[in-house]
Amino acid sequence: MKLAFIVDPLASFNLKKDTTYAMMVEAAARGHTLYAFQQDDLAWHKHQVSAHAAELQLTGSTPDWFHLQPATTIVLSDFDAVIMRKDPPFDMEYIYSTYLLELAERGGARIFNRPQAIRDYNEKMAIARFAEFTAPSLVTRKLDWLQDFIDSHTDVILKPLDGMGGASIFRVGATDPNRNVILETLTAHGQRTIMAQRYIPAISAGDKRVLVIGGEPVPYCLARIPKAGETRGNLAAGGTGVAQALNARERQIAEALGPQLIAAGLLLVGLDVIGDYLTEVNVTSPTCFQEITTQTGCNVAAIFMNSLEKIIK
């Protein structure tokens, strides 16, 4: 197959952790031809969506782990699959890219994850589609509603709807002297919508990243365990990743959501589960392939490529 990856700059990859790199290695081992381009290489011209894309060879060595052929303009429908792996921020440029990719789909391109689904499934808000699995939550920008929520639940997590890697996440108690300024800052004095969730003490055992590929759960998750004195388990916030077999609750959530996710065109999803509760649905560029594979021997990239090949063929 001829596979194109929409990526951040290749030189920025951390090869020991990067999930896109793991996908590329597995694809190359199967004899697929790889191409890479960035978000700003996309264009709509003469009624077609194309990209200034370069064929990519993996060298198998570091630090010069890749070699790019000279880039050429290629219509996206000429690829067997286009894999969207651009990291957030999910800003207007990201949205414009999904518009272009959706036009490419109309021209016959196969995009994973589907651009409309990426737009529709805000990674924080998407849990509202599956409310039976969520902790008490509130999404609003009204300060009085947020204050009432904190008073009612006494221990609350506050987070923006467009954050990643644990950025700007606050734990606020009913008696916290900083609660007003935190709310004012996060909401920009009531001008920005945020999410409040009841604090889940089970975070001490880890914020579990449960991968769903092709509508099916990967049998292992990555428990991202907060460092001492920290509420957030995110690896970017200093959490430690420990691979574990899915427990009954995690499997229940993943199996319940899987058919809906794949039906929406979401080939790869990273569910965040704390204790018994679904807290996020990650669809832009879910990670943790390499950590799970290294610790368990379960080749997650192979599971992904098997699912992609099944859909494409």
Residue 280: active-site member: yes
Check if 2-116 and 136-199 are the same fold. no
Task: Supply φ then ψ for residue 164, to 5 degrees.
Answer: -150, 160
Per the residue annotation, which of 26, 207, 250, 280 is the catalytic one? 280
Half-sphere exposure of 69 (CA within 13 A, CB side): 10
Residue 216: active-site member: no
The stretch 170-194 carries a mean pLDDT of 97
Q: The tokens of 85 are what?
A: 């792996």
**Is residue 149 within 8 Å of residue 156, measured between CB atoms?**
yes
85-136 residue pLDDT tens: 999 989 999 999 999 999 999 999 999 999 999 999 999 999 999 999 999 9
Question: Largest Cα–Cα distance of the chain, in whole Å?
Answer: 60
Residue-level pLDDT at 285: 96
C-alpha 211/C-alpha 246 separation (Å) is 10
- 136-199 classified as CATH 3.10.20.30: no
Residue 142: active-site member: no
Per the residue annotation, which of 86, 114, 159, 208 is the catalytic one? 159
Least confident of 1-10, 30-39, 158-167, 214-223: 158-167
The CATH code of the domain at 2-116 is: 3.40.50.20
| Other beta carbons within 10 Å of 201 | 9
C-alpha 188/C-alpha 193 separation (Å) is 9
Q: Where are the domains of the chain?
A: 2-116, 136-199, 202-303
Residue 30: active-site member: no
**Is residue 251 within 8 Å of residue 277, measured between CB atoms?**
no
Residue 209: active-site member: yes
Per the residue annotation, which of 110, 124, 198, 208 is the catalytic one? 124
Residue 122: active-site member: no
C-alpha 76/C-alpha 105 separation (Å) is 8
- Separation in Å, CA 3 to CA 40, 79, 109, 136, 312: 18, 6, 11, 41, 11
What is residue 272's three-state secondary structure?
strand
221-274 residue pLDDT tens: 999 999 887 887 777 777 899 999 999 999 999 999 999 999 999 999 999 999
Name residue 271's beta-bridge partners: 210, 281
Residue 124: active-site member: yes
Per-residue pLDDT band at 29 (split at 50, 70, 90): very high
From the options 2.40.110.10, 3.30.470.20, 2.40.50.140, 1.10.3720.10, give the CATH code of 202-303.
3.30.470.20
40-69 residue pLDDT tens: 999 999 999 999 999 999 999 988 999 999
Tokens 């929406």 correspond to 264
Per the residue annotation, which of 26, 122, 282, 291 is the catalytic one? 282
Residue 224: active-site member: yes
